[in-house]
Amino acid sequence: MSGGARAVRAGRRTVEIQRPGKVLLPGGGGVKEYTKADLADYYRSVAPYLLPHLRGRPLMLERYPDGLDGQRFMQKNTPDHYPEWITRAEVAKEGGTVTHVVCDDTATLLFLADQACLTLHRWLSRTDRAHGLDHPDRLVFDLDPPPVPEGAGGTPGDDFAVVRQAAGRLRELLDELGLPAAPMTTGSRGLHLVVPLDGRHDVDEVRAFARDVAELAVARHPDRLTTAARKQDRGDRLYLDVQRNAYAQTAVAPFTVRALPGAPVAVPVAWKQLDEPGLDARRWTVENAVEQARTEPWAGLPARGHGLGPARRRLADMRS
């Protein structure tokens, strides 16, 4: 039964989870089902590790009010009925503005769980930085593996060897450029490499730099990698996607739940973990993602992001 409500305390606020027994991710075939209460419990437990990746960042919310089998809503604008204590960010768009939710605290996270928001997609820039939302402090390479051929069978992890190999090649290139990067499973099929920036470069500069890095990686490994946006042009090569670095684009946030059976979670990993047998993009779920968070897999990243000036000069030398 999914009726009733459950009150959950979060700091100075109490958030009501309506219909906590509502099934959001159905089970069956050995896969556990997950309810709205399960989602709220997970987000409350992971909040200390998730919130640092969300604070100050406009969000796009992936909502399933009727569960995974119902309609999906990709929500940018904040409805009027959302509580006034939730932080908002009014963002310019063509022909006007859009007011995004910004998740700054656990109470907001719980409210979004109550709204059946499974996945949080974040901007790569922040409202509280001096340079503003058009100056990202994150650069993301999205490593998207080729599809498993129809009829080939197998499991979601069968193509992850291609992903880890591509991640190693891209890491080598970024090391040459003097840019530390951190890997994150997407909870779906691929991997993100996240490069912290200092926020001094505008979004067009960052996107152009990401494109140039990806094209050099493809030039070095043309039989393995591609930047072709059209799927029919990729063949069996892994797609290096840099489109998330454009203005108003988003990337799935670390420790967020994906809208897939079994409740897989996008999880930061240490580079050495990519060599672990059996690792794939859905290795962590709401059952064990907090344990991974406690290991602080990105602890080796510098506290401050890098500028792109020296890296761009090195890249120009490599391409000449």
Task: Over range 170-187, report the average pLDDT.
Answer: 98
> Which residues fall within 8 angstroms of residue 128, CB to CB, at 6 or more apart?
55, 56
Helices (H), 179-257: 203-220
Rounded Cα distance between 203 and 121, Å, is: 18
pLDDT at residue 121 is higher than 50: yes
Q: Dihedral of the CA atoms 155, 160, 161, 167 (nearest 10)?
A: 180
Task: Identify each DSSP E strand in the chain by its residue range.
Answer: 5-10, 13-18, 23-25, 34-35, 59-63, 73-75, 87-93, 96-102, 117-123, 138-144, 182-185, 191-196, 225-226, 238-241, 250-252, 267-268
Q: Give the Cα separation of 80 and 99 in Å (integer).
A: 10
How much is the pLDDT for 130? 75
pLDDT of 1 strictly over 50 = no
Q: How is domain 1-123 classified at the architecture level of CATH?
A: Alpha-Beta Complex (3.90)
Q: What are the pLDDT digits (tens) for 125-141? A: 999 877 789 999 999 99
Is 50 exceeded by the pLDDT of residue 61?
A: yes
The reported pLDDT for the residue numbered 148 is: 67
- Assigned token pair, 7: 């009150």
Distances (CA, A) of 187 to 76, 261, 294: 22, 11, 18
Domain made up of 132-320: CATH architecture: Alpha-Beta Complex (3.90)
Whether residue 285 contacts residue 265, with contact meaning beta carbons closer than 8 Å, is answered with yes
**Partner residues linked to 265 by β-bridges:** 257
* Residue 2 pLDDT class (50, 70, 90 cuts): low
For residue 263, the model assigns a pLDDT of 98
Q: Kindly report, residue by residue over 243-293, the tens digit of the pLDDT.
A: 999 999 999 999 999 999 999 999 999 999 999 988 999 999 999 999 999
pLDDT at 264: 98
Instruction: Return residue ranges of the chain for CATH 3.90.920.10.
Output: 1-123, 132-320
Return the structure tokens found at 237.
Answer: 């090569």
Instruction: Give 204-239 pLDDT, tens digit per residue.
Output: 999 999 999 999 999 999 999 999 999 999 999 999
The rounded distance, in Å, linking the Cα atoms of 258 and 187 is 6
Cα distances from 268 to residues 181, 184, 190, 252, 316, in angstroms, run 11, 4, 12, 11, 30
The whole-model pTM stands at 0.94
Contact 183, 269 (CB under 8 A): yes
